[in-house]
Structure 1
Amino acid sequence: MLVAQISDIHVRPDLSSLQTLERAIGWLRTFRPDALVVTGDLVDDGWRHGYRLVAESLRSLDCPVHLLPGNGDDLQLMRSELAAVAPWISATGPMHFRAAVDGLTLLGVDVTVADESYGDVLPHLPWLISALADVTTPALLFMHQPPFRIGIEVLDQVGCRNGTALLSTLETTHSLPLAILCGHVHRPAFGRLGTIPVQTCGSLCPPNPLLLEGRADLPVIDAPSFLVHEVSDGRLVSHVVSVPVSRGA
């Protein structure tokens, strides 16, 4: 079972990130994952046509697509322009998703907070515990912001709050998710929430510098990237796929 994850496209009128998305989608069309999850921040500045361009690109894939909003998305525009591409649990309210694909459960929790840049998982824990109640297969849990501090202060200020409550809730379930898979950070990062692995996906827009513990703001040498998750025999292995920047980008 192969699940691709793309995050933080940040499409804008200069179309550079859209070109990177199209290269990633072209690769995925040949690779043929069983599902694709996009973990937020699709478009910058509420650009309606940008959502339409992303929708057009995603429609070219021959697999189920699932979408979460990020703290930079316009949720109303995203819902109106992408509802035909990827369904959510309900037509209004939080844009959660739940799907079963070939013996694997995919769960997406929309942690966005209206008119704020930070996320908060606390209001959505009742839905999550209900969604997990009858799950008997291995599960992957997707969010936009990771539920803990990652060490880049400017990102942690707009991170996801109440990660401890999320862990307490998950520990009451009969089976923990194989991993919590996030975006937001614009670079791959790996950690744990309790015993649950947490991973962040690279971005399709330029990656963020590694601003850790007051170190210098060094030039970014990372390529845009996304993740491919392989689940086999109840175990997860995740692979980083880099997307070369085109000569004209």
Structure 2
Amino acid sequence: MLIAQISDIHARPDLSSLRTLGRAIGWLRVFRPDALVVTGDLVDDAWREGYRLIAESLHALDCPVHLLPGNGDDVQLMRSEFAAIGTWLGAPGPLHFRVAVDDLTLFGVDVTVAGQSYGDLLPHLPWLTSALAAVTTPVLLFMHQPPFRIGIEVLDQVGCRNGHALLGALEGMDRQPLAILCGHVHRPISGRLGSIPVRTCGSLCPPNPLLLEGRDDLPIIDAPSFLVHDVSDGRLISHIVSIAAPA
């Protein structure tokens, strides 16, 4: 089972990241994953036309597409512009999704908070724990911000709150997700929430600098990237796919 993940397109009228998205979509059309998950921050500044252009690109794929909003998205615009694509559980609530892909279940948790740049898991834990308890297949759990601090202060200030509550809920369950898969950071990172692997997807716009422990703001040498998750026999391997700049 191959699940692709794209995150943080941040489309804007200069079209630069939309061109990068086009190259990623072209690669995925040939690769043919079983599903694609987009983990938020699709456009900047509520640019409606950007949502429409992204929707047109995603229509070129033969696989199902599942979308989550990020802290920079307009949830209502997403709901209207992706009405033909979105697999959300219902209106007008959060843009959660729960979908089965053969013997795998994908969960998406919309952690956005109206009018705020941070995310919050706490309001969604009753739904998530109830839904997870009813699943008998392996699970991948997607959200925008990772559920812990990553050490880049400007991102942690708008991170996801109550990750400890998520850990407490998941530790009491018979079946835990194979991984928690996020965006937000604009670079691939890996960590753990308790014993559960947490991974973030790179971005399709320029990656963020690695501002750790007061280090200098060094020039960015990372390429835009996305992830391909290979799930087989209850184990997960995540591959980074970098997108070279056009010649």
Q: Give TM-score, length-normalised by structure 2.
A: 0.99
Number of residue pairs matched by the alignment: 247
SS at match of 2:154: helix
Kindly indicate whether the alpha-carbon contact (under 8 Å) linking 1:64 and 1:86 is maintained by their aligned counterparts in 2. Answer: no
Question: Residue 25 of structure 1 aligns with which residue?
Answer: 25
SS at match of 1:192: strand
Unaligned runs of 5+ in 1: none
Within 5 A, what are the aligned runs for 1:146-185? Answer: 146-185=146-185
CA–CA separation in structure 2 for the residues paired with 1:25 and 1:85: 15
SS at match of 2:187: coil
CA–CA separation in structure 1 for the residues paired with 2:123 and 2:156: 20
Question: Residue 195 of structure 2 aligns with which residue?
Answer: 195
SS at match of 2:130: helix
CA deviation string 1:43-62 (max 9, x = no partner): 00000010000000001100
Deviation at 1:208, TM superposition (A): 0.3
Unaligned runs of 5+ in 2: none
Deviation at 1:104, TM superposition (A): 0.2
Within 5 A, what are the aligned runs for 1:198-217? Answer: 198-217=198-217
Deviation at 1:83, TM superposition (A): 1.7
CA–CA separation in structure 1 for the residues paired with 2:48 and 2:131: 31
Question: Residue 108 of structure 2 aligns with which residue?
Answer: 108
SS at match of 1:212: coil
CA–CA separation in structure 1 for the residues paired with 2:83 and 2:234: 31
Kindly indicate whether the alpha-carbon contact (under 8 Å) linking 1:192 and 1:198 is maintained by their aligned counterparts in 2. Answer: yes
Deviation at 1:101, TM superposition (A): 0.1
Deviation at 1:102, TM superposition (A): 1.3
Deviation at 1:166, TM superposition (A): 0.2
SS at match of 1:8: coil
Question: Residue 46 of structure 1 aligns with which residue?
Answer: 46
Deviation at 1:171, TM superposition (A): 1.4
Deviation at 1:92, TM superposition (A): 1.1
Deviation at 1:134, TM superposition (A): 1.2
Deviation at 1:245, TM superposition (A): 1.5
Range with greater deviation from structure 2 (224-233 or 171-180): 171-180
SS at match of 2:110: coil
Q: How large is the Cα RMSD of the aligned pairs? A: 0.6
Give the letter aligned to residue 209 of structure 1: P
Question: Residue 16 of structure 1 aligns with which residue?
Answer: 16
CA–CA separation in structure 2 for the residues paired with 1:92 and 1:243: 36
SS at match of 2:10: coil
CA–CA separation in structure 2 for the residues paired with 1:97 and 1:171: 22
Kindly indicate whether the alpha-carbon contact (under 8 Å) linking 1:107 and 1:140 is maintained by their aligned counterparts in 2. Answer: yes
CA deviation string 1:173-222 (max 9, x = no partner): 21000000000000000000000000000000000000000000000000
CA deviation string 1:131-163 (max 9, x = no partner): 112110000000000000101000000000000
Deviation at 1:86, TM superposition (A): 1.9
Q: Give TM-score, length-normalised by structure 1.
A: 0.98
Kindly indicate whether the alpha-carbon contact (under 8 Å) linking 2:99 and 2:107 is maintained by their aligned counterparts in 1. Answer: yes
CA deviation string 1:69-113 (max 9, x = no partner): 000001110110012112200021100000000100000000000
Question: Residue 98 of structure 1 aligns with which residue?
Answer: 98
Query: Which aligned runs of 4 or more in structure 1 are off by greater than 2 angstroms?
Result: none
CA–CA separation in structure 1 for the residues paired with 2:209 and 2:99: 34
CA–CA separation in structure 2 for the residues paired with 1:134 and 1:91: 22
CA–CA separation in structure 2 for the residues paired with 1:197 and 1:53: 33
CA–CA separation in structure 2 for the residues paired with 1:172 and 1:33: 32
Question: Residue 219 of structure 2 aligns with which residue?
Answer: 219
CA–CA separation in structure 1 for the residues paired with 2:84 and 2:92: 15
SS at match of 1:76: helix
CA–CA separation in structure 2 for the residues paired with 1:197 and 1:225: 20
